Amino acid sequence: MDTLTHRIKTYARRLGFDLVGVAPAQPAAHADFLRRWVDAGMAGEMHYMTRDVERRVNPQAVLPEAKSVIVVALDYSSSPNHSTPAPPNHPTGRIARYAWGDDYHDVMRQKLNALLEFVKAEAGAEVQGKIYVDTGPVLERDIAALAGIGWFGKNTNLINTRRGSYFFLGVLLLDLALDYDEPSWTAHCGRCTACLDACPTQAFVAPYVLDARRCISYLTIELKGAIPRELRPQMGSWIFGCDVCQDVCPWNRKHAQPTDESAFFPREGFESPNLIAWLRLTPDEFRTRFKGSPLQRAKRRGLLRNIAVALGNAKDPSAVPALIDALHDEEPLVRSHAAWALGQIGTAAARQALEEAMATETDEKVREEIAWAIKTVDGSVD
Ligand code: B12
Ligand code: SF4
């Protein structure tokens, strides 16, 4: 069958995309869910989610002549069935597997640009197209379900029956009519609630509804300020993103496919980062090490904040010297979370360093964290 749609799909696969589907450009089926979610405040400080709600649910708002949306998916996981590496002799953190390699925005955008060029070559240079990978006002999972890429799991991720959910989505809006795929609205979770039960921060208020303000992915990547103190102990060793609700999903356990995209292969040390070494990264070292990596998004202060929380949770006294140095970092956000971590570890050296820092610290928020940490060591926190 040599239709334009077929040729586009074949070319998309040749570019390396693992799944490709085509949907009519129409208002999002679950627009009301998004409106309710935003109104309930569940987007937290993600202002890009609250600003453009009506644009986000309507493809014609971003491309008025849009007729079709090509949706592509690219697998990113390197070890779908999580093989735990041998424990090293220093505290290690965890990074969500989507961030082990290069930044997916660049990888996907390059491929989608090539796809748009192909469409223009096949259908005429005057064809208008718009590409989005995560950054634009598009409800990507909704369009992807309409294009038959996968169905909504209770963990809100889009799941494909043959591949699980470890894939990125990207969309190409076109002012061109194409042949459309069958939508995949039917959920296949059945009575399984593994993801809802396993979430370390109890971030799901109901199946299909995630309160982003509690999600470790939000806390470690999107939140710019202090991490709420009551959630820190539940974050375990996650320092960037979180995979728990996908790792426990039976569809991933049985069907996840290792990525063929070499750009997503793990960078050295990303599968089990050495927390003490990373806490000591200078601004220059941070820039060099995370060039082209998704971790850049957290900025140095955000990443060191997360590392301090993970070290506080590890309660490993070998981290105390590095945390004492971080207690004097140039960033108040890093100092305040280092103070918390020292309070959790609670050795005599940690307590003394907290006392000394209190004598010179001028930032009110950091002082408050230090005072709380000292109380924790002394056992006088409720
Ligand atoms: C904001 C955002 C986040 C936020 C909020 C997540 C969320 N669930 O909304 C935070 C920072 C927490 C986050 C985390 C992650 N994200 Co994110 N994120 C986005 C973003 C930018 C928007 C998502 C959105 O629209 N949320 C609004 C809420 C209302 O949507 P929703 O929760 O999906 O709810 C929908 C359904 O549940 C459905 N629905 C509601 N009720 C019901 C009831 C039934 C019965 C049914 C069937 C459906 C249904 O309708 C809602 C609207 O479509 C998209 C990119 C994009 N532009 O779309 C990426 C995106 C969703 N994220 C992605 C990824 C990879 C992640 C993480 C896995 C990263 C990580 N490992 O840390 C985690 C997963 C956490 C999770 N369980 O969702 C991928 C998902 C790919 C996939 N296979 O699904 C996307 C598509 C990015 C991309 N281009 O690849 N993310
Ligand atoms: S990514 Fe982690 S914290 Fe976020 S909803 Fe899933 S299990 Fe919970």
For residue range 247-267, list pLDDT tens digits in order.
999 999 999 999 999 999 999
Per-residue pLDDT, 52: 84
- Per the domain annotation, does 10 fall within a domain? yes
- Per the domain annotation, does 221 fall within a domain? yes
- Domain of 49, in residue numbers: 1-273
Ligand 2 neighbour 157 (Cβ under 6 A): no
Q: Per-residue pLDDT tens for 107-129?
A: 999 999 999 999 999 998 899 99
For residue 194, the ligand closest to its alpha carbon is: 2
Task: Tell me, in angstroms, the distance from the centre of ligand 1 to residue 207's CA.
Answer: 13
Cite the DSSP H helix spans in the chain: 4-14, 31-39, 47-51, 53-56, 59-62, 104-123, 140-146, 194-198, 216-217, 244-247, 250-255, 275-279, 283-289, 299-314, 320-326, 332-345, 348-360, 364-378
- Per the domain annotation, does 311 fall within a domain? no
Q: Which of 143, 155, 217, 221 for mutating ligand 1's site (highest number of atoms within 8 Å of CB)?
A: 217
- Per the domain annotation, does 284 fall within a domain? no
Q: What is the pTM of this model?
A: 0.96
Number of structural domains (the chain) is 1
| DSSP secondary structure letters along 323-352 | HHHHTT-S-HHHHHHHHHHHHHH--HHHHH
- Please identify, by atom number, the ligand 1 atom nearest to the C-alpha of residue 208: 37
Phi then psi for 219, rounded to 5 degrees?
Answer: -65, -35
Catalytic site residue from 39, 52, 103, 134: 134
Ligand 2 neighbour 216 (Cβ under 6 A): yes
- Per the domain annotation, does 307 fall within a domain? no
- Please identify, by atom number, the ligand 1 atom nearest to the C-alpha of residue 221: 11
- Please identify, by atom number, the ligand 2 atom nearest to the C-alpha of residue 96: 1
For residue 210, the ligand closest to its alpha carbon is: 1
- Please identify, by atom number, the ligand 2 atom nearest to the C-alpha of residue 202: 8
Per-residue pLDDT, 164: 97
Phi then psi for 311, rounded to 5 degrees?
Answer: -70, -35
Phi then psi for 71, rounded to 5 degrees?
Answer: -115, 130
Ligand 2 neighbour 215 (Cβ under 6 A): yes
Q: Per-residue pLDDT tens for 162-201?
A: 999 999 999 999 999 999 999 999 999 999 999 999 999 9
Nearest CA to 369 out of 333, 320, 318 is that of 333
- The structure tokens listed for 130 are 């718009």
Ligand 1 neighbour 38 (Cβ under 6 A): no
Low-confidence ranges of the chain (pLDDT < 50): 80-82
Take atom 41 of ligand 1 and give the residue whose Cα is closest: 208
- Per the domain annotation, does 7 fall within a domain? yes
Please indicate whether residue 382 is annotated as part of the active site. Answer: no
For residue 241, the ligand closest to its alpha carbon is: 1
Ligand 1 neighbour 138 (Cβ under 6 A): yes
**DSSP 8-class letter at 315:** T
Take atom 11 of ligand 1 and give the residue whose Cα is closest: 218
- Per the domain annotation, does 254 fall within a domain? yes
